[in-house]
Amino acid sequence: MAGLDEGTPLFAQIAERLADEIADGGLAEGERVPSMNELAAFYGLNPATAAKGLNLLADDGLLEKRRGIGMFVAAGARKRLLGQRRREFARRYLEPLLTEAARLGIGLDELVALVREATQEAAAGAREGASL
């Protein structure tokens, strides 16, 4: 986890970073997450701020509190989180893409071909960048 950004509330950044680790599989279901004191020490912030970030994830059902031993990744958290992020991805990116494609008269087959082409170009660029 890198440093925090001053433009977003710190507790929200803590929650987002932990959610990213859950989504990426870095924190598995049933695994203990860092405590509020561990997060506070790592980031150099108030433990109450770290606790607020943890509680945000617990309120969303991604973490579960086990009295006396800490917070753990809840069963089904990764699947639920990925589902939420897919829906957000569709809302944020696909809906505007489809709207603009319709405006330009681009049909589904042509749109899929454009996406494939862009994917191949991105992969080629990534390979080229890796070889430098």
Instruction: Per residue of the chain (132 residues), give pLDDT as tens.
Output: 456 677 889 999 999 999 999 999 999 999 999 999 999 999 999 999 999 999 999 999 999 999 999 999 999 999 999 999 999 999 999 999 999 999 999 999 999 999 999 999 988 888 887 766
Residue 26 resides in a domain:
yes
Domain assignment present for 4: no
Residues 14, 65 within the same domain: yes
Q: 92 and 119: one domain?
A: yes
3-state secondary structure of 123: helix
d(CA 96, CA 92): 7
pLDDT at 60: 94
Per 3-state DSSP, the chain is made up of helix, strand and coil in percentages (nearest 5) of 65, 5, 25
User: Is residue 126 one of the residues assigned to a domain?
Assistant: yes
Q: Is residue 36 part of a domain?
A: yes
CA-based nearest residue to 1, from 35, 20, 53, 37: 20
- CA–CA separation, 83 vs 86, rounded Å? 5
Residue 124: per-residue pLDDT: 87
pLDDT of residue 49: 94
Question: What is the pLDDT, as a whole number, of residue 132?
Answer: 62
Can you give the pTM of this predicted structure? 0.77
- Which among 27, 50, 75 is the end of a domain? 75
Query: Residues 70, 29: one domain?
Result: yes
Is residue 98, in this structure, part of any structural domain at all?
yes
- Assess whether 54 and 91 both reside in one domain: no
Specify if 1 maps to a domain. no
Query: Is there a domain that residue 3 lies in?
Result: no
Query: What total number of domains does the chain contain?
Result: 2
CATH number (domain holding residue 42)? 1.10.10.10
Q: Which residue has the tokens 């800490």?
A: 70
Structural domain including 117 reads: 85-131
H or E segment to which residue 50 belongs: helix 47-59
